Structure 1
């Protein structure tokens, strides 16, 4: 399987399970309606594990442009490959978000809250202070990617392995379970401000789908906020790579 296909499938599964749990919690008349933030945070942790498990052997399971950019900065992925990875991630996010809508189509029809419908696709701050939201996305993504760098095989970061020769992150016998738990923890600890996008593809791809799909009674897609869950995670990932290279 090519890295492009792997990133497409992995990100599709990530968004299907992640945005799916949000839909199950916030949409009207679902089995999981109003089951709370703990369920959403757990669902996203599981979503990351499933998506990464599907893609790891073929691409290293970045599933996140912020991770891909961090690997470029660390010198372990070429720019050409990074573009391929990000394209797969964005298209996978499109597909996953579309599947969530098709699965919960009847529940979108009976849900009156337009913000809840948007939340099934992308994030928004609970208190609309854009500089603060930007900081939270930078911090949340740093808290994701810096620990990942500490988990992976040191040679992949420290320069012993050539660029692009081994895309697999090398997380050891536990695989991506620690990463899933890490995302669960970020959701519980840092996710209450912005909804912790910490992934440009996971937010921008579904936001575009929200704008395009014929969702009954939907609101606008909040493009005034949309740059924050794109730029913030990229900055956070870049900082994580820079700090790790400095201390390694």
Structure 2
């Protein structure tokens, strides 16, 4: 399997399980309806873990354009691979969102609130305040990338597969501690690919895809990731 295929399939699984848990919690008539934020953050952590176990041994399981760029900045990934991996991640995220739409197909017409339907696909701020929303995505992604780089540093030894398990818990920690402000995209593909799916798919009463906000979960994670890579290179 090529790195491109691995990143596509891994990101598709990430979004299928990650956005899938959001769908279960917010779409009406789901058996998981109103299960809450703890379920969502645990679901996302497990989604990252499963996807990483699937393709980590092939491509490194970056599954995130911001993380991909950061590892290139840190000298841990060849820049020549960055473009194709980001394309794969975006395609995988879009396909994963389409699968979520299919899986919950009867529930869209039973759910009245447009914001709940959009939440299955894309993030949105709890309080709309552009500087704070951008900063939230920068900080959340900084924590993700800096922790991942530090855990992979020289002298750090993990038993086989343990690091991937820890990464899943890291996602849960970020979600529980920092995710309440914007829904913690911390991954441009996780937001942009599914948001595009929301715009294209025939979802009953779906409303706006809120493209005016869409740049924040793209630009914020990239800034946070690059800052983390630069600081890691300085202090380590």
- Scaled to the shorter chain, the TM-score interval is over 0.9
TM, length-normalised to structure 2: 0.97
Tell me the equivalent position of 1:56.
56
| Cα deviation code 1:158-189 (max 9, x no counterpart) | xxxxxxxxxxxx96530311110000011100
2:110 corresponds to 1:110 = yes
Tell me the equivalent position of 1:216.
204
* Matches for 1:29-68 after TM superposition, within 5 Å: 29-68=29-68
Q: In structure 2, which of residues 156, 163, 180 is the aligned counterpart of residue 175 of structure 1?
A: 163
* Matches for 1:218-237 after TM superposition, within 5 Å: 218-237=206-225
Q: CA deviation at 1:145?
A: 0.7
* Matches for 1:83-122 after TM superposition, within 5 Å: 83-122=83-122
Contact 1:25/1:40 (8 A) holds in 2 = yes
Q: In structure 2, which of residues 215, 229, 232 is the aligned counterpart of residue 241 of structure 1?
A: 229
Contact 1:203/1:229 (8 A) holds in 2 = yes
Tell me the equivalent position of 2:137.
137
Tell me the equivalent position of 2:19.
19
Question: In the superposition, relative to structure 1, how do residues 123 and 10 fare at CA in structure 2: closer, same or farther (>3 Å)?
Answer: same
Question: In the superposition, relative to structure 1, how do residues 222 and 145 fare at CA in structure 2: closer, same or farther (>3 Å)?
Answer: same
Q: CA deviation at 1:91?
A: 0.5
Q: Structure 1: how far apart are the matches of 2:132 and 2:169?
A: 25
| Cα deviation code 1:22-43 (max 9, x no counterpart) | 0000000001000100000000
Equivalent pairs counted in the alignment come to 235
Tell me the equivalent position of 2:192.
204
Runs of 4+ in structure 1 displaced over 4 angstroms? none
1:95 aligns to what SS in structure 2? helix
Q: CA deviation at 1:219?
A: 0.9
Q: Structure 1: how far apart are the matches of 2:108 and 2:49?
A: 27
Gaps of 5+ in 1: 156-169
> RMSD of the alignment, in Å?
1.4
2:173 corresponds to 1:185 = yes
Q: CA deviation at 1:76?
A: 2.3
1:176 aligns to what SS in structure 2? helix
Q: CA deviation at 1:152?
A: 1.0
Question: In the superposition, relative to structure 1, how do residues 214 and 71 fare at CA in structure 2: closer, same or farther (>3 Å)?
Answer: same
Q: Structure 2: how far apart are the matches of 1:98 and 1:40?
A: 19
Q: Structure 1: how far apart are the matches of 2:131 and 2:78?
A: 32
2:76 aligns to what SS in structure 1? coil
Gaps of 5+ in 2: none
